[in-house]
Amino acid sequence: MPQASLNGIRIDYQEFSPENKKFGTIVFMHGRGGNLLSWFQQIPYFSKKFHCIAYSQRGFGNSYDIDNGPGWSAFPKDLELLMDFLNIDKAHLVAQSMGGISALGFAVEHSNRVLSITFADTTGGMGEPLLENELIEWKNKYPRTRGRLEAISEKFENDNPEMANLYLQISLTNPELANPEMALDKINLLGGPKGQELNALKMPVLFLVGQDDTLMPPHIIKLASEYIKDSEFLIIPDCGHSVYWEKPYVFNSEVNRFISDSIS
């Protein structure tokens, strides 16, 4: 597996179809329960048309963080330096859950390098007070009860035990976290960009969420979408927090439509 030495660590990444770079690059950012392996249902689809990059974020997969390292706060800078390393000037960003921190933070600092953003089951860590209060209230009212499998719906787990187990096994390949603040029970998508930082974003943005998402429910994602002008909001029926995993054909089709529309 190739690695890029940057920002004090080595980032694990995979590159697909570089010959399609002229048609656009998509960078995939996984959630807290995954790593670059998580996108195996997306890469074959999108790499037929686009240049694709999947990478394991700091502290996940083989992208080991340093002890008590910066954790989430370094995600946007890591993305910037990875794109520099791979000579990618501009890209479409597809971010699942925690990956939204990378996408939104990078877009705020480098909007000229972002062609579009797909926020999948994530607010990107927006720091808008009303949004933060709604999210805190939801989490207090509906605490986690299923551990790592909270990221997929109970129906999907029951109907697709093999895929549920694969999700769990990929999650378990992640190393012990060097930064304890990134532990599952301390994940906190709060305190990020807000106000004018969000108003300044002019690239096409899609917010996509599973109807049955118990971690980032539709009303939270709908509220987040209202802070970015002209963003698109889409609910995927009968699906939990991981639309890309539970309904890959729907996810791929909708994201492809959105990216293609942003190009035309």
Q: What is the pTM of this model?
A: 0.95
Give the H or E element holding residue 120.
Answer: strand 114-120
| Residue 170's CATH number | 3.40.50.1820
| CA 51 to each of CA 27, 113, 264: distance values in angstroms, whole numbers, following the listed order | 9, 15, 17
Residue 135 within any structural domain of the chain: yes
Residue 106 within any structural domain of the chain: yes
Helices within the chain (DSSP H only): 43-46, 75-85, 99-109, 129-141, 154-159, 161-172, 196-199, 218-225, 243-246, 248-263
What contacts 175, CB < 8 A, 6 or more positions away? 59, 60, 62, 64
Residue 264 within any structural domain of the chain: no
Residue 115 domain boundaries: 3-259
Residue 136 within any structural domain of the chain: yes
What contacts 264, CB < 8 A, 6 or more positions away? none
pLDDT tens sequence for the chain (264 residues): 899 999 999 999 999 999 999 999 999 999 999 999 999 999 999 999 999 999 999 999 999 998 888 888 899 999 999 999 999 999 999 999 999 999 999 999 999 999 999 999 999 999 999 999 999 999 888 887 788 889 999 999 999 999 999 999 999 999 876 566 565 544 456 678 999 999 999 999 999 999 999 999 999 999 999 999 999 999 999 999 999 999 999 999 999 999 999 997
Give the H or E element holding residue 209.
Answer: strand 205-210
Residue 232 within any structural domain of the chain: yes
Total domains in the chain come to 1
Residue 72 within any structural domain of the chain: yes
135 is written with which tokens?
């999210």
